[in-house]
């Protein structure tokens, strides 16, 4: 064991004596040993023969050699003034000590072993201190020594911050929890020391990897760091210097934790936010460092996550607090580069973050934040640009909240102030925020509202001077961006494609810095002005030499948007709305409602729909450009909204109402019917439409009629051509002879009602129709000529001639079976290639009875040489009653072209709907005498390649036997390459799934057939060589991208193809 003496001889810490030193010469000895002759030169050279010393004349200015000592020996009798000041014995002693240090010093290695030793020592000192404190409570002199030892041990942990590779091990040890627990120590000095160490460990200057940092932070939070930190802050008195330091380091810990969103949400609890808000509002003169730091931490926390922003806006009334603190700067500015200036900037930044949220925007309006910002724009210097940025963020976004901000901004007189700033010479940052506000006003203010009219008037006043300024700004920004683009193009020509792709974000960032964002915002503002006013369009066109550049800019912005992002989707909607107005050839038009945080306001959605209806009715040449339309309007029943229906549609409705005897039969609720009529009229506006994706309510008779008649407006509405011409002004009389969907090739019809809707039969008569996807519809058509007493041309299936339709693919989902119309659907197409039929909701009395089976068989037999995909199933949650006898589809061997087959087992075997494996057949037992089931072989077409059996629980035992026989008779179906089986989760609990799977897996491998099982099977993953696709519910073998494998999902991917 090392002795105490050895410990002192070999210090752990490095000593200054170990450094290499220059040995100082003894000046007196040098003097005595040197003789200088008079002939010595100033450069120090001397004669080779011995040197002699001679006294020079006192007036000789020549300097050579060292200065002679003074003659007065009383001042320095022994010449120590020129010596080292250390005797020979002392020097020898010092040299000996240095030698000992050099021989004995060994730097201690900071590694896992050191960490464990320190952890053991730390735990002992924490335990000893706690024991002494408990034993000698009230006698501090008996535990102060242990407290001093503990304080020194706490500071030893600071070395860990220099070795982040130890973070994970430190996080896993008990020492970290002990260190955090010291925040509750009775001695605040110990608690403050622990806080300082934690602050050092989390400091941003520590070069720790992300996983190391995550491990440390996770352990700290699990040790209840936040709760202890807030409790400790409550007892610290900032009047004391050490306590003030503890508050500072506590804020440093919160700042380090607030940088990442997930952690910010965890620490952004109400208690932390409340303490920070209370701290920043404490009056201080001059403003202290901790108050400024608290504002900075609050800003970082709010910037990192939306959750703290919502909590501060709703639970703490933080918006009102921020505005009160900022009101002090409405007329005065803080000192430049002072703590107060940084404090005010942090408060502005924090409020801007909160104003990005919908709740924050509403609180901003309630607390009169807009009025305060307008005052700052007029009277302040420091706050002006920051208040403008705050207004920009408050007006940004989508939904009702930013629209309310825009209306309040106009009502508060903000237009005069904003446009006055715009017309002055201002910097680029000010221009950027002003453009953002202008864009929000034009995008969000309701049409025909007073606020919107006032905004447009501001742009157009004084001979369009604001538009002229916008056009000039566009030219300036376009030149800047072009210059940046030239530099980027030069660099791109010098690098390969891979590096060019890697630096794409860098190039785009440089374009943004060069003014691309402002340029694009100007183009959006100009496009709105073009859309709103013909005079503005002419003025803009004359200043920009046409609208081509604006058109291209809008298209470029569309290409950069993320279709999955909610905000991008709404901005995409705006750009698509404006592009046709700028005469851009836009073929894909998506008018589906936007998802808005906090819910969707029907009035806003309807307003958009009405504006587009008005647009295309007033400019039919734009409607001709549209090829693909997605239309899912929001329906309301407010009669007060009827006045918002475009005038042309309203006149059509009034004409139709006068001509219909029983208005209730036709329109139902007047406002509801009028909106359905507006939808029907809009459909008729697109004569070149190729595909239509539409959602309708369960009794949208007008819309169904459009797709069933295929004629002009006057025939659609049942009014005479003469009366229609009299009711419409000259500019709208083109409506009389408009063709209806004559070029439509694809229809996706989705009913939004609870009971389904009538089928738009007329789509089968459209000359160009090829594909029909119909969801949640009933086959049985209403007898319209009786209800309406006017229309004798409504098409029904039975009136359509056989083999008259060009439809090639039909998909019916969630449709009730019917003895009549199901067969007529199959009778109409000339050469059907794909038929997908999903039954449901099931009516037990109609469930694939003998009559319906016979009619479907007759319809299918018309397509034995063209049909390649057939699916007969029923909805997952629907099933016939057990006592209902179902009819099997029968043999499909005559269908030589059929390659993809999907059948529910009840359509294969018929009979009652389930036996749940009651025969207890064991496919693994070779002695099992269960008879071989050959029924499936008798049904399958000869060239089938992909087979899927659904609802296997309906005939589980027979399915087991049939599939087993099919796998053993592989040669009978040479084209068969895949079999997929599906069973419901509830039924799989009662069946021998594992036994069934183990038996068939081996046979499938031997036969070379891919075997897939439904995701409902509870089979161990290690036994499966495939994964599941929940969207299409088809088992797909991992790594198999062959064409045959792609065909396995052919029939099911149509679920998502047109489903928005």
Q: Are residues 338 and 452 in the same domain?
A: no
CB 258 within 8 A of CB 264: yes
DSSP, residue by residue, 595-653: P-TT---HHHHHHHHHHHHHHHHH-HHHHTT--EEEE-PPP---GGGGGGS-HHHHHHH
Name the H helices within 765-900. 784-788, 821-827, 850-860
d(CA 1, CA 693): 87
Helix (H) or strand (E) holding 348: helix 339-355
- For 878, the token pair is 């629907």
- Mark 958-974 as b/e (b = at least 16 C-beta within 10 Å): bbbbbbbbbbeeeeebe
How many angstroms separate the Cα of 927 from the Cα of each of 865, 917, 918, 1002, 1006?
43, 18, 19, 18, 21
φ and ψ of 903, to 5 deg: -135, 140
Same domain, 421 and 561: yes
Give the per-residue pLDDT at 290: 92
Decide if 221 is inside a domain: yes
Residues 948 and 1002 in one domain: yes
In terms of Cα–Cα distance, which of 336, 346, 334 is closest to 280? Answer: 346
Three-state DSSP class for 367? coil
Cβ atoms within 10 Å, residue 386 = 21
Q: Which residues contact 477 (CB under 8 A, 6 or more apart)?
A: 515, 516, 518, 519, 522
Within-domain flag for 657: yes
Distance CA 517, CA 530 (A): 20
Confidence (pLDDT) at 772: 85
Taking the CA atoms of residue 448, residue 451, residue 453 and residue 455 in that order, the dihedral angle to the nearest 10 degrees is -140
Residue 489, burial from CB neighbour count under 10 angstroms (0-12, 13-18, 19+): exposed
Q: Are residues 564 and 656 in the same domain?
A: no
Residues 659 and 746 in one domain: yes
CA distance 221 to 211: 15
Angle at 655 between CA 654 and CA 656, to 5 degrees: 90
Are 954 and 987 in contact, with CB atoms under 8 Å apart?
no
pLDDT means per 10 residues in the chain (1060 residues)?
40 38 43 40 40 45 49 50 66 75 63 88 89 84 86 89 89 90 90 92 86 90 90 89 91 87 77 90 89 92 88 88 92 87 93 92 93 90 91 88 92 93 90 93 80 90 90 92 92 88 87 89 88 84 84 77 51 54 45 42 47 60 69 46 52 58 37 56 75 71 61 60 66 58 81 56 77 64 34 49 81 65 76 84 59 78 90 68 68 90 83 49 49 70 89 76 79 83 66 66 76 54 32 33 38 35
Residue 380 structural domain: 287-395
Rounded CA separation 824/39 (Å): 136
Residues 295, 375, single domain; the answer is: yes
Domain membership flag for residue 467: yes
Q: Rounded to two decimals, what is the model's pTM?
A: 0.52
The first and second tokens of residue 464, run together, are: 């369009």
Q: Domain count for the chain, please give it.
A: 5
Give the separation between CA 349 and CA 351, rounded to whole angstroms.
5
* Secondary structure (3-state) at 978: strand
Residue 749 and residue 642 in one domain: yes
Instruction: Examine residue 871 and state whether it is found in any structural domain, yes or no.
Output: no
The answer as to whether 280 is a domain residue is no
Q: Are 948 and 981 in contact (CB under 8 A)?
A: yes
Q: What is the pLDDT of residue 855?
A: 76
Q: Beta strand pairing status for 628-631 and 746-751?
A: unpaired
> Which pLDDT does position 38 carry in this prediction?
41
- Which of 630, 614, 629, 539 lies closest to 581, judged by CA? 614
- Last-in-domain residue among 508, 533, 568: 568
* Dist. CA 725–CA 722, nearest whole Å: 5
pLDDT of residue 860: 87
Asked whether residue 324 is assigned to any structural domain, the reply reads yes
554 with 595, same domain: the answer is no
613 and 510 in one domain? no
Residue at 861 is within a domain: no
Q: Could you tell me if 391 and 481 lie in one domain?
A: no
- Cβ neighbour number for residue 48 with a 10 Å cutoff: 6
Distances from the Cα of 960 to the Cαs of 19, 921, 932, 976, 998, in angstroms? Answer: 87, 9, 10, 18, 12
The confidence score (pLDDT) of residue 802 equals: 75
Q: How far is CA 542 from the centre of its chain?
A: 41
C-beta of residue 252 within 8 angstroms of C-beta of residue 270: no
The token pair that represents 49 in the structure block: 């023969």
Contacts of 523 (CB under 8 A, 6+ apart): 474, 549, 550, 553, 554, 557
- The sign of the CA dihedral 283, 285, 290, 292 is positive
Does residue 961 fall inside a structural domain? Answer: yes
Task: Please answer whether residues 682 and 591 qualify as being in contact, where contact means their C-beta atoms are separated by less than 8 angstroms.
Answer: no
Measured in residues, the chain has a length of 1060
Three-state DSSP at 446 gives coil
Same domain, 250 and 360: no
Domain boundary, last residue among 366, 395, 424: 395
Domain C-terminal end among 510, 535, 568: 568
How far apart CA 252 and CA 720 sit, in angstroms, is 80
Going by C-alpha positions, the residue among 802, 879, 797, 807 that lies closest to residue 836 is: 807
Q: How far apart are CA 1037 and CA 29, in angstroms?
A: 95
Tokens linked to 573: 């909607």
Please report how many Cα atoms fall inside a 13 Å half-sphere around the Cα of residue 27, on the Cβ side. 14
Residue 988, number of CB atoms within 10 A of its CB: 20
> Quick one: 743 and 596 in the same domain?
yes
């Amino acid at each position: 064991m090392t002795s105490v003496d050895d410990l002192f001889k070999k210090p752990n810490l490095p000593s200054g004596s170990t450094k290499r030193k220059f040995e100082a010469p003894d000046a007196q000895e040098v003097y005595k040993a040197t003789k200088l002759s008079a002939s010595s030169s100033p450069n120090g050279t001397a004669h080779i023969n011995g040197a002699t010393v001679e006294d020079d004349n006192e007036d000789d200015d020549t300097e050579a050699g060292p200065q002679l000592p003074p003659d007065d020996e009383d001042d320095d009798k022994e010449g120590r003034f020129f010596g080292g000041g250390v005797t020979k014995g002392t020097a020898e002693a010092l040299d000996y000590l240095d030698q000992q240090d050099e021989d004995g010093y060994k730097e201690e290695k900071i590694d896992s072993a050191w960490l464990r030793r320190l952890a053991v020592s730390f735990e002992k000192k924490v335990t000893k201190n706690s024991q002494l404190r408990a034993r000698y409570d009230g006698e501090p002199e008996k535990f102060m020594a242990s407290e001093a030892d503990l304080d020194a041990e706490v500071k030893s942990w600071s070395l860990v911050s220099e070795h982040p590779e130890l973070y994970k091990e430190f996080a896993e040890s008990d020492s970290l929890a002990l260190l955090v627990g010291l925040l509750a120590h009775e001695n605040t000095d110990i608690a403050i020391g622990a806080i300082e160490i934690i602050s050092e460990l989390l400091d941003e200057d520590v070069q720790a990897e992300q996983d190391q940092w995550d491990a440390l932070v996770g352990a700290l939070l699990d040790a209840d760091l936040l709760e202890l930190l807030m409790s400790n802050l409550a007892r610290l008195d900032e009047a004391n210097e050490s306590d003030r330091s503890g508050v500072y380091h506590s804020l440093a810990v919160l700042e380090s934790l607030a940088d990442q969103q997930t952690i910010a949400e965890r620490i952004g609890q109400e208690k932390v936010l409340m303490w920070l808000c209370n701290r920043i509002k404490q009056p201080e003169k001059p403003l202290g460092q901790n108050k400024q730091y608290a504002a900075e931490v609050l800003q970082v926390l709010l910037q990192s996550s939306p959750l703290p922003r919502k909590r501060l806006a709703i639970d703490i009334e933080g918006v009102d607090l921020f505005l009160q603190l900022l009101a002090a700067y409405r007329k005065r500015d803080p000192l430049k580069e002072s703590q107060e200036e940084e404090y005010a900037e942090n408060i502005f930044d924090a409020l801007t973050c909160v104003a990005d949220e919908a709740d924050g925007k509403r609180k901003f309006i309630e607390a009169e934040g807009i009025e305060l910002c307008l005052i700052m724009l007029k009277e302040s210097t420091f706050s002006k640009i920051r208040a403008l940025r705050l207004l920009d963020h408050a007006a940004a976004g989508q939904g009702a909240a930013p629209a309310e901000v825009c209306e309040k901004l106009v009502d508060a007189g903000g237009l005069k102030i904003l446009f006055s700033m715009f017309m002055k010479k201002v910097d680029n940052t000010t221009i950027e925020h002003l453009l953002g506000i202008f864009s929000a006003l034009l995008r969000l203010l309701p049409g025909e509202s007073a606020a919107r009219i006032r905004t447009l008037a501001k742009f157009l006043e004084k001979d369009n001077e604001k538009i002229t300024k916008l056009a000039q700004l566009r030219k300036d920004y376009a030149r800047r961006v072009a210059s940046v683009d030239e530099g980027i193009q030069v660099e791109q020509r010098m690098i390969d494609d891979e590096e060019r792709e890697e630096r794409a974000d860098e190039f785009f960032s440089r374009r943004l810095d060069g003014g691309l964002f402002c340029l694009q915002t100007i183009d959006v503002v100009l496009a709105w002005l073009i859309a709103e006013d013909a005079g503005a369009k002419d003025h803009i066109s004359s200043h920009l030499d046409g609208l081509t550049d604006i058109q291209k800019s809008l298209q470029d912005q569309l290409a950069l948007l993320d279709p999955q992002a909610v905000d991008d989707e709404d901005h995409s909607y705006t750009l698509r709305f404006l592009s046709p107005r700028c005469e851009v050839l836009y073929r894909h038009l998506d008018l589906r409602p936007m998802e808005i945080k906090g819910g969707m306001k029907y009035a806003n959605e309807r307003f958009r729909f009405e504006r587009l209806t008005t647009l295309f009715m007033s400019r039919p040449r734009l409607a001709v450009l549209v090829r693909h339309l997605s239309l899912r309007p929001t329906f309301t029943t407010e009669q007060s909204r009827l006045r918002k229906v475009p005038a042309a549609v309203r006149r059509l409705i009034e004409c139709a109402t006068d001509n219909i005897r029983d208005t209730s039969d036709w329109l139902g609720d007047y406002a509801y019917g009028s909106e359905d009529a507006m939808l029907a009229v809009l459909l008729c506006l697109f004569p070149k439409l190729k595909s239509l994706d539409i959602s309708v309510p369960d009794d949208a008779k007008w819309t169904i009629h459009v797709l069933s008649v295929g004629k002009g407006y006057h025939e659609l509405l049942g009014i005479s051509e003469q009366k229609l011409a009299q009711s419409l002004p000259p500019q709208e009389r083109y409506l009389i002879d408009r063709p209806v969907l004559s070029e439509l090739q694809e229809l996706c019809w989705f009913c939004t009602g609870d009971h389904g809707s009538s089928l738009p039969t007329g789509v089968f008569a459209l000359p160009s129709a090829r594909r029909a996807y119909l969801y949640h519809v009933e086959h049985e058509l209403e007898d319209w000529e009786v209800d309406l007493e006017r229309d004798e041309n409504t098409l029904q299936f039975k009136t359509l001639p056989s083999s008259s339709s060009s439809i090639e693919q039909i998909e019916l989902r969630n449709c009730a079976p019917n003895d009549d119309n199901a067969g007529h659907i199959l009778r109409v197409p000339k050469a059907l290639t794909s038929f997908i039929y999903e039954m449901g909701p099931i009516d037990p009395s109609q469930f694939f009875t003998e009559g319906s089976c016979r009619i479907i068989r007759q319809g299918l037999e018309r397509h034995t040489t063209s049909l390649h995909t057939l699916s007969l199933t029923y909805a997952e949650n629907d099933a016939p009653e057990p006592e209902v006898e179902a009819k099997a589809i029968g043999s499909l061997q005559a269908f030589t072209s059929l390659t993809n087959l999907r059948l529910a087992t009840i359509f294969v075997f018929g009979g009652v709907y389930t036996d749940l494996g009651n025969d207890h057949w064991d496919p693994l037992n070779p002695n099992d005498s269960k008879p071989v089931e050959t029924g499936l072989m008798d049904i399958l077409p000869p060239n089938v390649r992909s087979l899927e059996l659904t609802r296997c629980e309906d005939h589980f035992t027979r399915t087991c036997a049939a599939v087993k026989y099919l796998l053993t008779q592989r040669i009978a179906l040479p084209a068969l390459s895949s079999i997929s089986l599906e069973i419901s989760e509830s039924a799989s609990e009662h069946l021998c799934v594992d036994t069934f799977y183990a038996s068939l897996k081996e046979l499938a491998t031997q036969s070379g057939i891919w075997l897939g099982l439904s995701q409902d099977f509870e089979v161990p993953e290690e036994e499966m060589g495939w994964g599941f696709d929940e969207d299409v519910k088809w088992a797909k073998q991992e790594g198999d991208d062959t064409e045959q494998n792609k065909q396995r999902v052919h029939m099911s991917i149509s679920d998502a193809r047109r489903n928005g």
